Amino acid sequence: MTETVTQPWGIITHVLLCGWFLWCLRFRLKAALMLFAILGAAILIGQGVKSVIKDKVQEPRPFVVWLEKTQHIPTDEFYNLKRKERSELVKSQLETQQEVPAWLRKHWQKETGFAFPSGHTMFAASWALLGVGLLWPRRRTLTIALLLVWATGVMGSRLLLGMHWPRDLVVATIISWALITLATWLAQKLCGPLSPPPQEADEIAERDDEP
């Protein structure tokens, strides 16, 4: 689940979701295109805000705290190192740790930054919240269910992989909600409503009547 948000797979996920959402919103295409343009900018701003918060709060990842307890590597010394040096340290310290799977060791080597808030959660939660807000009136219940399961899976995987604490996910979700709310409001302000127009309402009614 985590890899669907991690680069480069996150770009593919983003493109696929954009394509499907635009199809679902084709009756409001102008407003939808504006929304995704604004949303793209909002996500970039959000990632910037996330990076600033991470540098200010400097909360260690759970696996770094575990390294401190088991390998006696103080967290402050760990984060004083450059990213490449952190990766090399994780690799050298865990080479003989058979209880840590090789794939998890590699994952830890790649993600040695601070924990708070969760960028992966911001990405997944943004799409899930957007799905609930825009696709629920269009009766796209299967898409909404899949988005919610996917977002929950991404968030759960971040906890299981030792990347984040629960509070990281909660705050990231709140930030996502604020960004989605702002982006949707701006899009409707500039291009009109995103709610289903009369012709789409007829199509929705026909889908509802299908056995």
Q: Is 72 a catalytic residue?
A: no
Among 123, 125, 124, 109, which Cα is nearest to 162's? 109
CA atoms of 75 and 127, how far apart (whole Å): 33
CA 38 to each of CA 33, 42, 45, 180, 189: distance values in angstroms, whole numbers, following the listed order: 9, 6, 10, 10, 12
Q: Choosing from 14, 72, 107, 120, which is the catalytic residue?
A: 120
Q: Is 120 a catalytic residue?
A: yes
Residue found by looking up tokens 């991470």 in the block: 54
Q: Choosing from 14, 72, 107, 164, which is the catalytic residue?
A: 164
CA atoms of 70 and 162, how far apart (whole Å): 14
Please, how many CA atoms are within 13 Å of residue 29, restricted to the half-sphere of its CB? 4
Q: Residues with catalytic annotation?
A: 120, 164
